[in-house]
């Protein structure tokens, strides 16, 4: 357990005392006294850098040059500690369901594993002793049975929203993790498929398939996987963050596919929809499914049946017992539970995190429901709502009509803070006889819970929805535009990041809360209305002005550096930068109000406001490698941490005043400092 507690939060969160009587002695007359004042995290700063040249270096320069290799920065350290604590809590949980699964995992041998896997396949009717392959109609029925059981081969049944209620959506299935992993690591995906096929065929009663047959089949399966991947639509992704940036697409009623395609044996798209139960008013079919329908109606049935077998085997492949001692310390973590036993427990934890996240959340809930400042966050967020409403009302470039719609949306936005009222997954049961059977049951119960939301109002079931797609312990906060709801997960409300006795830190973190609120009004979120429907509530003139201001922001962020010699991507990061800009302004204003109610004199107030900006940097403290920054530039819609600082501070008049910035590399004239909200 030693490794978990390597980081001492106390160093960074010692109380701030010397607010007024700072012994300020400038070392050289040309240097501004403000930059020489004593600040709480003095030892991180590099005062030889002018704030206007790099506020990031000014606030963190010394730390960046000399930090310990294991020090990942404030949040990096908290995240490491947090995730170790949660996985440890799971491994040591007294929850009877968790204990049952862990016991079963502990005792799982290779032969048990294969027996359990085949038993699942028999139960789903996808393995059997019959020599004749199923008919196409039977195959579709098998597929539907698998989908009911919580699997997603070829297609998946998930939920989305429409006019304020949850609807059932039929969309492209999931790729096998094994193939995705092979592709990501540069391995040959055909080999990855063959590995699973060989495993299945060597344990089945069938005479062993020869290698050439396996090659051909693996190749065909890869083609199916590629079709599934191509038909994938981010709008229906499990990841709320992917959904957040998804391009809105029109759904289609199942009936619109009526008889558009018919297989040689008479089966139609409508039959498929019927079998999968997506035919009523609450059903929509993703139009990107067309290639999958074609596959189901035209691919030879035997190949499809083999694909289903492959898919199930791939779902459990990571649970196959392996003697990890052969691999040494592959996790590189050295914490207590790692590298003990057969490694199945660790794989189980990872598997459940995506396949039955409610079970992980059951434990997270017990660990995190106490000692988090839910009320403090709620109070701050309601104050922010009022502040934001005032900002919209006072906005000088929008018409009254657009302002009215924006304020209506803001008023309707629902804040889900901390933990849900009830423990997630509380109704889950495990009546299976072994590990794989029990995991299978969890998937099935999750699918049923999800479908039980269909037809229900979105407004009352935000948490129920979110807990289908992420674990409660995730170190994150999100806004879901299609719900017009935000989620501040408990990790952001713990004392380490949202302390009661350190106001600059507390308000710096409040910037995240404001950030999520402002996602409702960013380049993407502004396309959704108060109910979460995709409706344009802008007057054309306001929309044009809004987009011009966004373009100015894109241009400003394009100027920044991602890493040496490579510029940032202002377009890709636009929505996140807009949310940052709004969030920091709201948190800053709120802190300023608080200080004035406290009756501080101007000098003391200004010092604290400088501390706010310095803590804002601390919040994003990290020392990212060029490789990591390059990866981020390619596929992360968030700006690099240093640009989350530099890009925002250079837009804020108050920051220029507080740090007396009049020139420097990133200096902008007042007219260049774009304002949106
Ligand atoms: Zn964001």
Q: pLDDT tens digits for 379-438? A: 999 999 999 999 999 999 999 999 999 999 999 999 999 999 999 999 999 999 999 999
Separation between Cα atoms, residue 321 and residue 199, nearest integer Å: 13
**Residue carrying structure tokens 């920065």:** 73
**End-to-end Cα separation, the chain, in angstroms:** 47
579 CA → ligand 1 middle, Å: 6
157 CA → ligand 1 middle, Å: 27
Query: Do residues 120 and 312 make contact, with C-beta atoms less than 8 angstroms apart?
Result: yes
Separation between Cα atoms, residue 476 and residue 304, nearest integer Å: 39
pLDDT in the model for residue 260: 60
Confidence of residue 249 (pLDDT cuts 50, 70, 90): very low
Mean pLDDT of 123-142: 85
Q: Is the pLDDT of residue 6 over 70?
A: no
Separation between Cα atoms, residue 178 and residue 423, nearest integer Å: 32
H-run or E-run covering 74 = helix 74-91
258 CA → ligand 1 middle, Å: 40
Q: Is the pLDDT of residue 30 over 70?
A: no
What string of H, E and C letters represents the secondary structure of 215-282?
HHHHHHHHHHHHHHHHCCCHHHCCCHHHHHHCCCCCCECHHHHCCCCECCCCCEHHHHHHHCCCCCCC
245 CA → ligand 1 middle, Å: 10
Count of other CB atoms within 10 angstroms of residue 106: 14
Query: Do residues 574 and 550 make contact, with C-beta atoms less than 8 angstroms apart?
Result: yes
Separation between Cα atoms, residue 147 and residue 153, nearest integer Å: 8
In sequence order, what are the residues at sequence separation of 6 or more whose Cβ sits closer than 8 angstroms to the Cβ of residue 393? 403, 407
476 CA → ligand 1 middle, Å: 10
397 CA → ligand 1 middle, Å: 24
pLDDT in the model for residue 332: 42
317 CA → ligand 1 middle, Å: 34
492 CA → ligand 1 middle, Å: 14
Which tens digit of pLDDT belongs to each residue from 104-127?
A: 999 999 899 999 999 999 999 887
What does the DSSP assignment read for 450-472? HHHTTTSBGGG-HHHHHTTTS-T
Pairwise pLDDT comparison (597 vs 6), residue with the higher score: 597
How far, in whole angstroms, is CA 150 from its chain's centroid?
21
Question: For 371, which DSSP code?
Answer: S
Segments making up each domain of the chain, as ranges = 33-83+356-416+467-672, 112-327
640 CA → ligand 1 middle, Å: 13
Which tens digit of pLDDT belongs to each residue from 623-635?
A: 999 999 999 999 8
CA distances from 119 to 9, 309, 433, 489 (A): 49, 12, 11, 38
Pairwise pLDDT comparison (41 vs 28), residue with the higher score: 41
Q: Is the pLDDT of residue 335 over 90?
A: no
517 CA → ligand 1 middle, Å: 9
pLDDT in the model for residue 533: 85
Token pair for 568: 């940032």
Per DSSP, what are the bridge partners of residue 285?
Answer: 170, 252
pLDDT in the model for residue 266: 83
Separation between Cα atoms, residue 451 and residue 232, nearest integer Å: 20
Query: Do residues 147 and 169 make contact, with C-beta atoms less than 8 angstroms apart?
Result: no
Q: Is the pLDDT of residue 8 over 50?
A: no
Mean pLDDT of 252-261: 56
Separation between Cα atoms, residue 121 and residue 115, nearest integer Å: 10
What region does 565 belong to: left with phi over 0, alpha with psi -120 to 50, or beta? left
515 CA → ligand 1 middle, Å: 6
Question: For 620, which DSSP code?
Answer: T
HSE (side-chain half, CA atoms, 13 Å) at 356 = 29
Question: Domain 33-83+356-416+467-672: which topology?
Answer: Collagenase (Catalytic Domain) (3.40.390)
147 CA → ligand 1 middle, Å: 32
Report the mean per-residue pLDDT for the chain: 88
Superfamily of the domain at 112-327? Neutral endopeptidase , domain2 (1.10.1380.10)
Instruction: Note every long-range contact of 176-180, with CB atoms under 8 Å and residues 24 or more positions apart, other chains counting.
Output: 176/225, 176/310, 176/311, 176/314, 176/315, 177/314, 177/315, 177/317, 177/318, 178/314, 178/317, 179/222, 179/225, 179/314
pLDDT in the model for residue 12: 33
Separation between Cα atoms, residue 448 and residue 466, nearest integer Å: 15
Confidence of residue 71 (pLDDT cuts 50, 70, 90): very high
Mean pLDDT of 234-255: 60
pLDDT in the model for residue 400: 97
Lowest-pLDDT range of 65-79, 187-201, 242-256: 242-256
pLDDT in the model for residue 253: 57
134 CA → ligand 1 middle, Å: 48
pLDDT in the model for residue 180: 84
Handedness of CA 630, 631, 634, 638 (dihedral sign): negative
Q: Is the pLDDT of residue 334 over 70?
A: no
75 CA → ligand 1 middle, Å: 16
Confidence of residue 247 (pLDDT cuts 50, 70, 90): very low
CA distances from 488 to 88, 615, 619 (A): 23, 20, 16
Lowest-pLDDT range of 218-222, 264-268, 541-545, 572-576: 264-268
The CA-based diameter of the chain, rounded to the nearest angstrom, is: 92
pLDDT in the model for residue 677: 86
Query: Do residues 196 and 306 make contact, with C-beta atoms less than 8 angstroms apart?
Result: no
CA distances from 113 to 19, 322, 354, 518 (A): 63, 11, 21, 49
399 CA → ligand 1 middle, Å: 27
Which tens digit of pLDDT belongs to each residue from 517-535?
A: 999 999 989 999 998 888 8
Per DSSP, what are the bridge partners of residue 168?
Answer: 159, 283
Count of other CB atoms within 10 angstroms of residue 544: 11
Confidence of residue 261 (pLDDT cuts 50, 70, 90): low
How far, in whole angstroms, is CA 537 from its chain's centroid?
28
């Amino acid at each position: 357990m030693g490794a978990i507690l390597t980081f001492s939060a106390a160093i960074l969160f010692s109380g701030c005392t010397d607010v007024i009587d700072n012994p300020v002695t400038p070392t050289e007359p040309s240097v501004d006294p403000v930059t020489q004042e004593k600040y709480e995290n003095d030892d991180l700063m590099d005062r030889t850098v002018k704030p206007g040249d790099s506020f990031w270096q000014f606030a963190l320069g010394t730390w960046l040059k000399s930090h310990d290799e294991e020090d990942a920065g404030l949040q990096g350290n908290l995240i490491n500690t947090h995730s170790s604590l949660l996985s440890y809590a799971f491994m040591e949980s007294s929850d009877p369901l968790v204990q049952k699964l862990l016991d079963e995992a502990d005792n799982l041998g290779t032969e048990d594993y294969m027996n359990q896997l085949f038993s699942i396949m028999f139960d789903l009717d996808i393995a059997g002793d019959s020599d004749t392959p199923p008919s196409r109609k039977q195959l579709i029925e098998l597929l539907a049975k698998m989908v009911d059981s919580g699997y997603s081969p070829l297609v998946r049944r998930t939920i989305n929203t429409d006019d304020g209620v949850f609807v059932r959506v039929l969309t492209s299935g999931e790729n096998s993790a094994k193939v995705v992993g092979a592709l990501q690591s540069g391995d040959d995906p055909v080999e990855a498929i063959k590995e699973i096929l060989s495993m299945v065929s060597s344990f089945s009663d069938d005479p062993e398939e020869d290698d050439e047959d396996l090659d051909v089949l693996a190749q065909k399966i890869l083609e199916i996987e590629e079709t599934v991947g191509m038909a994938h639509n981010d709008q229906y992704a499990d990841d709320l963050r992917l959904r957040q940036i998804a391009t809105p697409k029109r759904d289609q009623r199942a009936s619109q596919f009526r008889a558009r395609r018919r297989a040689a044996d008479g089966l139609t798209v409508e039959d498929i929809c019927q079998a999968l139960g997506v035919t009523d008013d609450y059903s929509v079919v993703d139009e990107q499914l067309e290639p999958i329908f074609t596959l189901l109606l035209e691919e030879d049935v035997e190949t499809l049946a083999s694909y289903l077998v492959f898919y199930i085997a791939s779902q459990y492949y990571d649970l196959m017992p392996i003697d990890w001692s052969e691999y040494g310390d592959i996790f590189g973590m050295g914490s207590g539970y790692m590298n003990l036993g057969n490694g199945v427990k660790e794989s189980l934890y990872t598997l459940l995190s995506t396949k039955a996240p409610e079970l992980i959340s059951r434990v997270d809930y017990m660990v995190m429901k106490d000692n988090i400042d839910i009320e403090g966050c709620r109070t701050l967020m309601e104050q922010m709502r009022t502040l934001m409403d005032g900002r919209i009302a006072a906005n000088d470039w929008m018409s009254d009509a657009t302002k009215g719609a924006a304020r209506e949306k803001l008023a309707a936005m629902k804040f889900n803070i901390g933990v849900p009222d009830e423990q997630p997954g509380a109704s889950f049961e495990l009546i299976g006889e072994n590990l794989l059977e029990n995991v299978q049951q969890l998937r099935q119960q999750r699918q049923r819970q999800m479908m039980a939301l269909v037809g229900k109002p979105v407004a009352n079931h935000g948490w129920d929805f979110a807990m289908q797609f992420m674990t409660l312990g995730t170190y994150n906060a999100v806004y879901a535009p299609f719900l017009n709801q935000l989620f501040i997960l408990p990790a952001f409300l713990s004392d380490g990041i949202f302390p009661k006795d350190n106001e600059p830190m507390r308000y710096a973190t409040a910037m995240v809360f404001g950030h999520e609120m402002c996602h409702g009004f960013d380049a993407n979120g502004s396309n959704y209305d108060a109910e979460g429907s995709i409706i344009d509530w802008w007057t054309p003139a306001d929309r044009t002005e809004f987009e011009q201001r966004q373009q100015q922001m894109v241009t400003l962020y394009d100027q920044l550096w991602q890493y040496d010699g490579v510029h940032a991507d202002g377009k890709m990061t636009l929505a996140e930068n807009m949310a940052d800009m709004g969030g920091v302004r709201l948190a800053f204003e709120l802190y300023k109000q608080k200080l004035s109610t406290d009756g501080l004199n101007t000098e003391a107030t200004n010092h604290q406001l400088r501390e706010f900006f310095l803590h804002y940097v601390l919040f994003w403290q990290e020392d990212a490698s060029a490789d990591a920054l390059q990866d981020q530039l390619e596929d992360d819609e968030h700006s690099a941490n240093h640009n989350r600082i530099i890009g925002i501070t250079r837009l804020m008049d108050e920051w220029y005043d507080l740090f007396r910035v009049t020139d420097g590399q990133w200096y902008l004239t007042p007219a260049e400092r774009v304002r949106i909200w």
